[in-house]
Amino acid sequence: MTEFSFSCTGVRADRFAAGPTLVFRLRVTASGDTPVHALALRCQIRIEPARRAYAPAEADGLTDLFGERSRWGSTLQPVQFAQVPLMVSSFTGETEADLVVPCTYDMDIAATRYLDALTDGEVPLLLLFSGTAFTGAGGFQVEPVPWDREASFRMPVATWREMVEQHFPGCGWIRLPRDTMAALLAYRSRHALPSWEATLQALLDDRGAPDPPARDPLRALTGTTGRTDP
């Protein structure tokens, strides 16, 4: 039975992808000299937060995920990052392949919030592999890729930020319910605001303004104060 091992040799941001995408470079090694006709892999990527240190500013940004720093001994658990398939073409002995991972900048996703909170250094990742191998010198046979195949990798935070900047230059991203979006659109149209940035800024400015005085209902209808002089 063929033994497979995996390692990750690098990662880059895909400059030509339609959306935020990371490309991990994998090295796949098969024992012996039996040809591998194809590998159908399932690849799961996890963030392992406990495997790095955090500056005070980073710790503040991670409070909503892991709680106060004093609790991190029990709350700093792995975070799911991605799960993607990969087909590796035929090889004998060793080969390399690109693992393409579509990403999101949705701040409701735990992995995105974690990555956005980091200012420098590396992201500790664990890549888990399983799947099916088609091997054999004459014809082919089907072999499983065991569930215990894995590879550790430390992704530079700068690579993640480069990817985000390619698609959201100088911007953040939030997801809103449809009724909230409809209300924001109505506010923007009502005030003839030129952009979403101007819309949100107007709302923030209004928040600090004093409440308008209560209106006299009689004056609203007649234009008078409702008082009769003696």
| Secondary structure of 97-127 in HEC code, one letter for each residue | EEEEEECCCCCCCHHHHHHHHCCCCEEEEEE
The candidate with the shortest Cα–Cα distance to 101, out of 165, 26, 4, is 26
Residue 28 has which token pair? 């796949």
More confident residue, 179 or 208: 179
23: number of Cβ within 10 Å: 16
How distant, in Å, are the alpha carbons of 11, 59, 69, 99, 165 from that of 159? 8, 20, 26, 15, 10
Residue that wins the pLDDT comparison between 187 and 127? 127
Report which residue type is found at 221. Answer: L
Q: Which distant-in-sequence residues (6+ apart) come within 8 Å of 209 by Cβ? A: none
180-207: average pLDDT: 87
Q: In sequence order, which ranges of 94-225 are alpha helices (DSSP H)?
A: 110-117, 157-167, 178-190, 196-207, 217-222
* Residue located via tokens 């985000």: 164
- Read off the pTM: 0.79
Asked whether 129 and 150 are in contact (CB, 8 A), the reply is yes
Q: What is the pLDDT of residue 208?
A: 58
Mean pLDDT to the nearest integer, 183-199: 88
Closest listed residue to residue 149, CA positions, set 169, 133, 138, 172: 133
Q: Could you tell me if residue 75 is left (phi over 0), alpha (psi between -120 and 50 degrees) or otherwise beta?
A: alpha
Q: How many residues does the chain have?
A: 230
Give the amino acid at 134: F
Please say whether the beta carbons of 129 and 149 come within 8 A. yes
What pLDDT digit, counting tens, does each position of 67-117 carry?
A: 999 999 999 999 999 999 999 999 999 999 999 999 988 888 999 999 999
